[in-house]
């Protein structure tokens, strides 16, 4: 009976899609250095990805688009990305351990939500890392199209440089229109 760990990345960002991953690890996976992706350096996360992919029984990544974030809201879009990752697993899980307090809807197995699970459960840690690295790669790619926002450095989070760019040039096509600073900037642009 396989249990998958599930986590998302990018829920608190001002730009870009939200990603999620689901990972089924064997009990004796032998992967050293697993932790909450936020506690690891980018290099440490990058080094762990091939180990996770190679040693996992199964893994998959899901994504929800900007349009889905705006239409559903970020929580429901993150849960949708989680469900997509779960459904993409090549081995169906018998259960899920999900970081946080919200469970993805319409899954066919029991779900346990765990507050701080990305720092407690190895399979959730692995999912956290895969989702974060995949999303960061997408933000680096988007930086090539929208260099004013420094997405390669801030990954879409509301850092001072990102907020300054929003003030200077306004939002771009990959900004989440309903998120506070972006929505405020849209109001300023509409009034001007």
pLDDT at 18 over 90: yes
- Contacts for 85 with CB less than 8 Å, ≥ 6 apart: 6, 20, 21, 22, 60, 61, 62, 127, 131
**Which domain CATH number covers 26?**
3.30.420.10
Does residue 184 belong to any structural domain of this protein?
no
Per-residue pLDDT, 186: 52
Is residue 182 in a domain? no
Q: What is the pLDDT of residue 183?
A: 77
* Per-residue pLDDT tens over the stretch 146-186: 999 999 999 999 999 999 999 899 899 999 988 777 877 65
pLDDT at 192 over 60: no
Percentages (nearest 5) of helix, strand, coil residues in the chain: 50, 15, 35
Q: Is position 175 within any domain? A: no
pLDDT at 133 > cutoff 60: yes
Structural domain boundaries, residue 70: 3-135
**Mean pLDDT throughout 53-62?**
97
pLDDT of residue 177: 87
pLDDT at 176: 93
Helices (H) and strands (E) in the chain, counts: 7, 5
| pLDDT of 54 above 50 | yes
pLDDT for 6: 98
Q: Find the mean pLDDT for residues 22-28.
A: 95
Residue 55 covered by a domain: yes
Please name every residue paired with 63 in a beta bridge, in sequence order, or none if there are none: 19
| pLDDT band, residue 37 (cuts 50/70/90) | very high
Tally the domains of the chain: 1
Q: Is residue 46 part of a domain?
A: yes
The region that residue 77 occupies, defined by phi over 0 for left and psi between -120 and 50 for alpha, beta otherwise, is: alpha
Percent of the chain having pLDDT more than 70? 96
| Alpha helix ranges (H) inside the chain | 42-55, 66-72, 74-88, 122-145, 151-154, 160-169, 180-191
Question: Mind listing the pLDDT tens digit for each residue in 61-96?
Answer: 999 999 999 999 999 999 999 999 999 999 999 999
The contacts of residue 27 (CB under 8 Å, 6+ apart) are: none
Instruction: Decide if 37 is inside a domain.
Output: yes
What does the mean pLDDT of the chain come to? 93
If we measure between CA atoms, which residue out of 132, 144, 14, 141 comes closest to residue 63?
132
């Amino acid at each position: 009976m396989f249990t998958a760990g599930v986590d998302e990345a990018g829920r608190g960002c001002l730009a870009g899609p939200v990603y999620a991953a689901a990972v089924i690890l064997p009990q004796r996976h032998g992967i050293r250095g697993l932790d909450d992706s936020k506690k690891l350096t980018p290099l440490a996360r990058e080094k762990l990805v091939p180990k996770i992919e190679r040693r996992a029984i199964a893994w998959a990544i899901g994504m929800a688009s900007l349009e889905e974030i705006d239409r559903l809201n970020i929580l429901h879009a993150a849960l949708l990305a989680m469900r997509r990752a779960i459904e993409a697993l090549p081995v169906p899980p018998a259960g899920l351990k999900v970081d946080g307090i919200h469970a993805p809807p319409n899954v066919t197995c029991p779900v346990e939500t765990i507050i701080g699970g990305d720092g407690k459960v190895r399979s959730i840690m692995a999912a956290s890392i895969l989702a974060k690295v995949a999303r960061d790669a997408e933000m680096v790619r988007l930086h090539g199209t929208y260099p004013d926002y420094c997405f390669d450095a801030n990954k879409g989070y509301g850092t001072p440089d990102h907020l300054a760019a929003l003030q200077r040039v306004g939002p771009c096509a990959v900004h989440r229109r309903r998120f506070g600073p972006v929505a405020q900037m849209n109001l300023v642009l509409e009034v001007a």
